[in-house]
Amino acid sequence: MEKLARIFKALSDPTRLRIMNLLLERELCVCDLTKVLDISQPNISRHLSCLKNAGLVSSRRVGVFIHYEIANLPPEFKKFLNALDEIFHHHPKLKEDRLRLSSLLKKKLIATGCNPEG
């Protein structure tokens, strides 16, 4: 029951919902998230830490960068995330975030990995 409560608490913040929305699309690093969401790096890192502590997000180091993705969750949680993803697709602000991500990827202003110039 506590794990479930941690998950819902982690999802109770608008910024964390926006991050989850983007991570449901693809793996991203903090610098990518700051560009898409126009939120400071310390703020993004704090929210990612909360999502990671709830078990929703996992990370891996790629060189000097840390990439974040949706954690490998039990099947019942995957169903929940699929339902959440469906809701996200219909929310105007979250659709806008995904379009911005797509646009930045097409313009190569962000990539699948961070780079010092980007």
Asked if residue 111 belongs to a domain, the reply is no
Determine the straight-line distance between the first and last CA of the chain, rounded to whole angstroms.
Answer: 42
The backbone torsions φ and ψ at residue 108, rounded to the nearest 5 degrees and listed phi first, read: 60, 30
Asked if residue 25 belongs to a domain, the reply is yes
Mean per-residue pLDDT over the chain, rounded: 91
pTM comes to 0.90
Task: State mean pLDDT over 14-20.
Answer: 98
Query: Between helices 92-106 and 75-88, what is the axis angle to 10°?
Result: 90
Number of domains present in the structure of the chain: 1
pLDDT in tens, 90-107: 999 999 999 999 999 998
Asked if residue 74 belongs to a domain, the reply is yes
One-letter amino acid identity for 106?
K
Asked if residue 115 belongs to a domain, the reply is no
Asked if residue 32 belongs to a domain, the reply is yes
pLDDT at 92: 96
Q: Indicate the pLDDT class of residue 64, thresholds 50, 70 and 90.
A: confident
pLDDT at 118: 42
More confident residue, 59 or 115: 59
Q: What is the CATH number of the domain that holds 83?
A: 1.10.10.10
Domain span at residue 44 reads 2-106
